[in-house]
Structure 1
Amino acid sequence: MEYCTGGDLFSAITSGHMTDMERACSFKQIMNGIAYLHSLGVAHRDIKPENILLTSDGTLKIADFGVSHVFRCTLERICHPSQGFVGTEAYIAPEVFEIGQSYWGSQADIWSAGILLQTLWKGGHAWLRADKDSDRNFGGFLRHHPGGTYLHFNNFPAPMRDLLYKMLNPDPYQRPTAQQILKEQWIVSIEICKDGFDPNHKWHHHLK
Structure 2
Amino acid sequence: MTKLSPDAFYELPAHLRGQLLAFWGKAQKAADTSSGFSGEIVFLDNGCGVFPRLTCAKFPRWRKELSPAIRAERFLREIKLQAAAHYHPNVHWPFDVVLILGVPIAFFRRWEGDLSDFIEDPHWGDLGRISLIIQLTAGLAHCHARGLVHQDLKPQNVFVRDLQSSFSLPPTDLWLRPLVADFGSVNLAADVGEFTGSRPYMAPEQWHKAELGEWTSVFVLGIMLHEIMSRGVHPTGERSSDWHHQNNPGFNRWQQNKRWRRWVGEGCPIAQPLPEHDLADLVAACLAPSPADRPSLREVQAALLHLLHHRSPTAGQQVNLFLGVAESQSAAEEWQYLKGRVEGLERAINDHYSQNTEDSSPDLSA
Structure 2: state its 5+ residue gaps.
1-92, 94-107, 164-175, 237-253, 309-315, 320-366
* Corresponding residue number in structure 1 for 2:178: 60
Q: TM-score, normalised by structure 1?
A: 0.71
The alignment status of 1:87 with 2:197, answered yes or no, reads yes
Two-structure CA RMSD over aligned residues (Å): 3.1
Residue aligning to 1:107: 215
Say which structure is richer in strand. 2
Match of 1:124 in 2: 233
Deviation at 1:9, TM superposition (A): 1.1
Q: Which residue of structure 2 lines up, in the alignment, with residue 164 of structure 1?
A: 283
2:182 maps to amino acid:
D
Residue 3 of structure 1 corresponds to 109
CA distance in 2, matches of 1:139, 1:45: 17
- TM-fit CA distance, 1:158: 1.5
> Structure 2 CA distance, aligned partners of 1:8 and 1:103?
28
What SS does the corresponding residue of 1:50 show, helix, strand or coil? helix
Distance in 1, Cα, partners of 2:132 & 2:180: 11
- Correspondence 1:34-73 to 2 at 5 A: 34-57=140-163, 58-69=176-187
Of residues 109, 125, 145 in structure 2, which corresponds to 1:19?
125
2:118 is aligned with what amino acid? A
Which residue in the other structure is 2:359 paired with?
Answer: none
- What residue number does 1:74 align with? none
Q: Which runs of 5+ in 1 are unaligned?
A: 72-79, 195-208
**Structure 2 counterpart of 1:162, which letter?**
D
Structure 1 residue 81, shift from structure 2 partner:
8.9
Alpha-carbon distance change, 137 to 161 in structure 1, aligned in 2, over 3 angstroms: farther
Of structures 1 and 2, the larger Rg is shown by 2
Change (3 A) 1:83 1:35: same
Output one character per residue of 1:20-67: Cα deviation in whole Å (capped at 9) or x when no partner. Answer: 111101111111111111111211111111111122413211110110
Percent sequence identity over matched residues?
A: 24
Amino acid aligned to 1:102:
A
Highest relative contact order (Cα 8 Å, sep 6+), 1 or 2? 1
Displacement after TM superposition at 1:5 (Å): 2.9
Distance 2:180 2:317 in 1: 16
Give the paired residue count: 176
The secondary structure found in structure 1 opposite 2:144 is helix
For 1:70-97, what per-residue CA distance to the aligned partner results, in whole angstroms no more than 9, with x for missing partners?
89xxxxxxxx698323211100011211
Supply the AA of the counterpart residue of 2:161.
Answer: T
Q: Are 1:28 and 2:138 an aligned pair?
A: no
